[in-house]
Amino acid sequence: MKKHFTLWVALLLVSVGSAMAQTQSSHYKAAETLLLTMGTPKTLDDNLQQMLTLQMEQVPAMKVAEMEVRSFFSKYMNWEAVKEDMIQLYMTEFTEKELKDMNLFYRTPTGKKLAMRQGTLNLKSTQIGQAKVEPHMMELQQAIQQKMQDNN
């Protein structure tokens, strides 16, 4: 009797584990499909290139090593390097159904347009934020210095 019970429990655990693996696998596939539909590999590279170009403009001294900097980031920030982490991130943040729903949206003309423009929107949003804060940086520096003096 004890052997039958142990066998039954083992079979149950195997079947539950198998079902969970299949669910995770379809969840994984939904996340991967969404990221590909959104054009994430190209967007990632485009955003990286834009960011590096901005860095080169803001810090002209880096121009000397521009090829090395671009090569470094291309090596460690390419799609293959971040793919698994990105898929896990999306799996953590969204259910399989949500991923599938988003995938349907990103296949529409509007979704495709959003995917194509997302990098530009992010970059311009960052620039807007910087433009709002930069003129007031002295105020922040003074507040920090005052706080540091008060604590001494």
Residue keyed to tokens 């590096």: 52
Q: Distance between CA atoms of 75 and 95, rounded to whole angstroms?
A: 31
- The one-digit pLDDT tens for each residue of the chain (152 residues) are 555 555 555 555 555 555 455 556 899 999 999 999 999 998 888 888 888 888 888 888 888 999 999 999 889 999 999 999 999 999 999 999 999 999 999 999 999 999 989 888 888 888 898 889 889 989 888 988 998 898 87
pLDDT score of 2: 55
Residue 53 CA, distance from chain mean position: 20
The DSSP letter of residue 135 is: G
* Burial class of residue 5 (count of CB atoms within 10 Å of its CB; 0-12, 13-18, 19+): exposed
Query: Letter for the amino acid at 69?
Result: V
Res 72: pLDDT: 92
CB atoms within 10 A of CB 40: 21
pTM over 0.75? The answer is: no
